[in-house]
Amino acid sequence: MGTTRAEHTSVILPFRARDESPLSLVHVTSPRPAAKGPVLLVHGAGVRAELFRPPVSRTLVDVLLDDGWDVWMLNWRASIDLPPVAWTLADAAAHDHPAAVERVLRETGAETLKAVVHCQGSTSFTMAAVAGLLPQVDVIVSNAVSLHPVVPAFSRFKIERLAPILGRFTPYISPAWGNRSEGYVSRAVRGLVRATH
């Protein structure tokens, strides 16, 4: 049996993106030595770094720790663990990911790192890489989507037609509203999502 969450030690390191937006890194270690160097895990939009440690018996973090990696999980501006802020994928590519890579390398003393990136974290991280902003990242494992997203027709309808209407009533829409309401608008959005998904 390998590492389990009970054996993890986690340290949260708040830091700032290049545009001063608040971000955080979660450094996860285990009793096993991390001889292979740092690996950065980047979540998608509307979730958080803990996406990589779901409540299952064996997670990606466990596997990486057992294999000797130094695990760092990023909460970038799309994280529900951070205050809501208007953002674009370009903002994350230009400001969040380069700052996170620099911080991990400074903390570890390593010259390079690997990255496992998911969903819109993958898209924005890959944008940063192809723009030449992440020269210290020598391997990127991209999951779910990268540089060519295919948007289904119903999703396009919601983005183009419903988002502008909702924008008249609220400055943002939070995936966390599925778990807790923040007023009438959030309850209405939650009800609409439940009725159509």
- Band (pLDDT 50/70/90 cuts) for residue 35 is very high
Cβ within 8 Å of residue 42, ≥6 positions away: 74, 76, 97, 100, 115, 116, 117, 118, 121, 122, 125
Domain boundaries defined on the chain = 5-143, 153-196
Query: Cα separation of 164 and 4, whole Å?
Result: 44
Q: Where is pLDDT greater, at 179 or 121?
A: 121
- CATH class of segment(s) 5-143: alpha beta
> Cα dist. 2→56, 108, 126 in Å?
13, 24, 31
User: For residue 10, what is the enclosing H or E element?
Assistant: strand 9-16
Model confidence over 123-137: pLDDT tens digits?
A: 999 999 999 999 999
pTM, two decimals, is: 0.88
